[in-house]
Amino acid sequence: MERHGLIIVHTGDGKGKTTAALGLALRAFGAGLRVLILQFIKGKKDSGELKALEVLKNFSPTIEIKQCGLGFITKENFAEQKKSARSAIELAQKEILSGDWDLIILDEINYAVKFGLLDAPEILSLIEIRPPELHLVFTGRDALPELIEVADLVTEMKLIKHPFQKGIVAQSGIEF
């Protein structure tokens, strides 16, 4: 079959952008693809997805998750976070060029752009340097128009209704 590395974007204000990327990782892993998840924004250290990915990784080391260490941005930590974003993009470049992966998920990378830690040329250069067979997934709300322009598959996750609106607290194992 003709192998064509897809540029995939999950954006919008709804739930499911990262969750659908995790589902994609699961499917791709099962199909024998080598999958790397780069989390641009720090996640919970004991999250369900980390534990489940650990199980898959013990079975075959063809799935990996790495934290790029960006936290939530405040006025006070902006300079520090900008430095972290630089390291994160360098890590992404290195992994993209490594030839070690068939699918790389750049989780919440759009967030780093939205808040001015990364700019459009930095994001687009990741696409330009990639081997043509590598699939790349960009998640996060407010995806750049330039990113949507070059992407192959773009889905907007749109919030129709959220349990918070009913006063229900976030449910462990489901929402986080």
Strand pairing category for 63-70 and 35-41: parallel
- The yes or no reply on residue 72 touching a second copy (CB under 8 A) is no
- The yes or no reply on residue 127 touching a second copy (CB under 8 A) is no
Residue 113 carries which side chain, given as an amino acid letter? V
Judged by CB under 8 A, the residue of 50, 91, 124, 127 near a second copy is: 50
- The yes or no reply on residue 124 touching a second copy (CB under 8 A) is no
Judged by CB under 8 A, the residue of 31, 97, 120, 129 near a second copy is: 31
Report the run of H or E that residue 175 belongs to, with start and end: none
Considering the complex, what minimum distance in angstroms separates the CB of residue 2 from a second copy? Answer: 6
- Residue pair 113/120 in contact (Cβ under 8 Å)? The answer is yes
Per-position b or e across 144-169, b if 16+ CB within 10 A of its CB: beebeeebeebeebeeeeeeeeeeee
Nearest-5° angle of CA 80, CA 85, CA 86?
100
Question: How far, in Å, CA of 9 to CA of 137, rounded?
Answer: 6
CB of 29 or CB of 111, closer to a second copy: 29
Considering the complex, what minimum distance in angstroms separates the CB of residue 133 from a second copy? Answer: 10
- The yes or no reply on residue 116 touching a second copy (CB under 8 A) is no
Considering the complex, what minimum distance in angstroms separates the CB of residue 65 from a second copy? Answer: 12
Question: How far, in Å, CA of 5 to CA of 130, rounded?
Answer: 9
Stretch of 67-75, 87-95, 124-132, 164-172 lying at the interface with a second copy (CB under 8 A): 164-172
Interacting residue ranges for a second copy, rule: CB under 8 A: 1-4, 6, 8-12, 14-16, 18-33, 47-56, 58-60, 102-103, 135, 148, 151-163, 166, 168-169, 171-175
